[in-house]
Amino acid sequence: MKEIKIIVAGVGSRGMGYARECNKSENVKVVGLAEPRSEYRDPIQEECQVPQENIFDDWREMAKKEKFADAIVISTQDNMHVEPVIAFAEKGYHILLEKPMAPTFQDCCTIFEAVKRNNVILAVCHVLRYTNYTRKMKEIIDSGVIGEIVSMAHLEPVNYWHQAHSFVRGNWGNTENSSPMLLAKSCHDLDWIRYVMDKTCERVSSFGSLFLFKKEQQPKGAADRCLDCPANVEEDCPYSAKRFYLERVSEGRVEWPLNVLNAVPDKENITEALRNGPYGRCVYACDNDVVDHQVVNMEFEGGRTASFTMTAFTLAGGRETTVFGSKGQLIGDSSKIKVMNFLKNTSEEIDTNAGADDITGGHGGGDSRLMKNFIEVLKSGDASKILTGAEVSLESHLMVFAAEISRTEKRVVEISELQ
């Protein structure tokens, strides 16, 4: 069988993960990397044995070469997707694109048009569609045991420390530098709701705000950096960077998220990062502006409805969903699904063995299954097997953009307004 060759642009946490998944796959080889930070790029180069002539600081340098692979993984920052998609689509590369597609609807359309014009495959990393849990839920719904879906309630519990790490101190805390919270974190979820509902969304309304992580909420006497905070203030703060990061170092837990602070996350390097880097800032003294809680109401074709809640203020657990059908009800927690049938008055619980639904657990196994699916498509050439292609991803992104318009303009938004 022909060897599939893949290159990666952006070797951060996501890019590393996808490169490693490629490296595990039979007849697949990572043959090029583009990443300005050598401390993150070099270990993956060594692990995947990528030749030095195919190592670049910038994806633009990689794009100048004659086509030397079948596909590219683009895992640059949210607002850095459009240019590389166009450049590599025009060279005939198939593309695995980290979500979200882009921070604006216009840019999403540009990506859509680029891949269609050049007749290349695009898969967007909406990994939740690929989990065992989702597959089983769809199978149950399609069997008719709960009748037609009438409504749905879905919760994304972001987790208090994940919010502080990624969406306050981290790369996705500021809309100007990345994208709105709903797009950066929860386009997964609106896409998943659309997939499970299997109907077109027609209108949305949304409310949300930045409630906690702002200057006026900073405790009296707190310092702007956690290492400088008085002990009596720091000990009462659940968002203390000192406690969160340094305790993990002491316990030997040095993978994500510590390797975001430094490629060699030992006590000395992490302490230095907290002293001088963005992750040592007080959560009440950052440049963040994304919401820390948001609700979205959606009306689908035929009058079906769904509600979505994203909140930072949770401790643990996976996404939770209740699907209300005309003949029954489903309750799921990202691993187990409880199926209730009205006609028989029965209840059954199914364990899908999905695993931890967080970034370190691969979103319930979705990350690895997405990559396996993409590789299978590259080998077979059958793009119909992609669950998150350009067209369906554009539709679910529309839902997100409509929700953001609703939230900021305080009105119900018709999806047709954006089309």
- Residue 340 makes CB contacts below 8 A (sequence gap 6+) with 146, 328, 329, 330, 331, 346, 347
Per the CB < 8 A criterion, the answer to whether 220 and 249 are in contact is: no
Q: How far apart are CA 99 and CA 101, in angstroms?
A: 5
Residues 135 and 95 in one domain: no
Tell me the two tokens of residue 126.
Answer: 């909406």
Residue 382 is assigned to a structural domain of this protein: no
Residue type at 343? L
Residues 154 and 199 in one domain: yes
Residues 209 and 219 in one domain: no
Residue 315 is assigned to a structural domain of this protein: yes
Residues 61 and 147 in one domain: no
| Residue 148 pLDDT greater than 60, yes or no | yes
Q: pLDDT for 160-174, tens place per residue?
A: 999 999 999 999 999
Q: Over the chain, what is the mean pLDDT?
A: 94
Backbone angles phi, psi at 378, to 5 degrees: -60, -40
Among the candidates 120, 140, 159, a domain finishes at: 120
| Residue 28 pLDDT greater than 50, yes or no | yes
Q: pLDDT for 253-302, tens place per residue?
A: 998 899 999 999 999 999 999 999 999 999 999 999 999 999 999 999 99
Residues 36 and 100 in one domain: yes
Residues 204 and 266 in one domain: no
Sign of CA dihedral 249, 252, 253, 256: positive
Residue 125 is assigned to a structural domain of this protein: no
Residues 184 and 333 in one domain: yes
Among the candidates 77, 94, 120, a domain finishes at: 120
The pLDDT of 59-73, averaged and rounded, is: 97
The pLDDT of 398-411, averaged and rounded, is: 97
The pLDDT of 299-316, averaged and rounded, is: 96
Range of the domain at 91: 4-120
CATH code of residue 346 = 3.30.360.10
Per the CB < 8 A criterion, the answer to whether 33 and 10 are in contact is: no
Residue 234 is assigned to a structural domain of this protein: yes
Residues 318 and 274 in one domain: no
Q: How far apart are CA 73 and CA 19, in angstroms?
A: 8
pLDDT band at 356 (very low <50, low <70, confident <90, very high): very low
How many structural domains comprise the chain?
Answer: 3
Question: Is beta strand 28-34 parallel, antiparallel or unpaired with respect to 4-9?
Answer: parallel
Residue 37 is assigned to a structural domain of this protein: yes
pLDDT for 363 equals 61
Tell me the two tokens of residue 361.
Answer: 């657990």
Among the candidates 62, 87, 120, a domain finishes at: 120
CB environment 320-333: b (16+ within 10 A), e (fewer): bbebbbeebbbbbb
Per the CB < 8 A criterion, the answer to whether 8 and 20 are in contact is: no
Residue 140 is assigned to a structural domain of this protein: yes
Nearest to 22 by CA among 360, 371, 367, 359: 371
Tell me the two tokens of residue 24.
Answer: 């595990």
Residues 336 and 410 in one domain: yes
Q: How far apart are CA 112 and CA 118, in angstroms?
A: 10
Radius of gyration of the chain (CA): 22
Residues 35 and 81 in one domain: yes
Q: pLDDT for 164-201, tens place per residue?
A: 999 999 999 999 888 899 999 999 999 999 999 999 99
pLDDT for 419 equals 83
pLDDT for 16 equals 92
CATH code of residue 100 = 3.40.50.720
Q: pLDDT for 81-104, tens place per residue?
A: 999 999 999 999 999 999 999 999
pLDDT for 364 equals 63
Residues 256 and 150 in one domain: no
| Residue appearing with tokens 């069997």 | 143
Residues 178 and 292 in one domain: yes
Q: pLDDT for 357-390, tens place per residue?
A: 443 345 667 788 899 999 999 999 899 899 999 9
Question: Is beta strand 336-341 parallel, antiparallel or unpaired with respect to 305-311?
Answer: unpaired
Residue 372 is assigned to a structural domain of this protein: no
- Residue 283 makes CB contacts below 8 A (sequence gap 6+) with 164, 168, 169, 213, 239
Q: How far apart are CA 48 and CA 201, in angstroms?
A: 42
Residue 42 is assigned to a structural domain of this protein: yes
pLDDT for 360 equals 38
